Amino acid sequence: MRLFFGILICTFLLSCVEEAMKKPENLIPREKMSLILYDLALVNSAKSTNPAILRENNIETMPYIYEKYGIDSAQFVNSDIYYASRPAEYENIYRVVEQRLQKEKEEMEEERRRVSDSVRIEAEKRREAELKKDSVN
């Protein structure tokens, strides 16, 4: 029974290694694909957070992405399917996107803290000035 499951697992793993899809002629390079997926994540996030902003600026997600990167829907879909058929490569692309999103998040949080600290410091200075003014009177 163990031998059967061992052979079954090996067969499954070897079948995953086989080329599931041939490389499309107009394959989007990995670096460009990670940029596209990053922008797609941002636009979709904006869409779910505040869709009015996109409507006001007449931005539709996919046409915006296609125009920005000079691609068409077929090229994007074929490239996405191709990379999805290679899980390790696809995971690497998404890892780059995730790292970039995390870095952007940390930078925004740092900026928010900096602004919050400067507002707090200004409020303390005003309060001190008012206390001095009241103590003089």
pLDDT tier, 136 (very low <50, low <70, confident <90, very high otherwise): low
Domain boundaries, the chain: 21-111
Q: Which two tokens stand for residue 27?
A: 């394959």
User: Can you give the pLDDT at residue 4?
Assistant: 47
User: Phi and psi dihedrals of 10, rounded to 5?
Assistant: -60, -40
Report pLDDT digits (tens) over 18-68.
456 789 999 999 999 999 999 999 888 888 888 888 888 888 889 999 999
SS3 at position 58: coil
In this model, does residue 8 exceed pLDDT 70? no
Half-sphere exposure of 7 (CA within 13 A, CB side): 4
39 vs 48: CA distance, rounded Å: 14
pLDDT tier, 12 (very low <50, low <70, confident <90, very high otherwise): low
pTM, rounded to two decimals: 0.68
Report pLDDT digits (tens) over 99-124.
999 999 899 899 888 887 777 777 77
User: Can you give the pLDDT at residue 59?
Assistant: 83
Q: Amino acid identity, residue 42?
A: L
Half-sphere exposure of 32 (CA within 13 A, CB side): 14
Share in percent of the chain as helix, strand, coil (round to 5): 80, 0, 20
CA proximity to 89, closest of 14, 26, 13, 34: 34
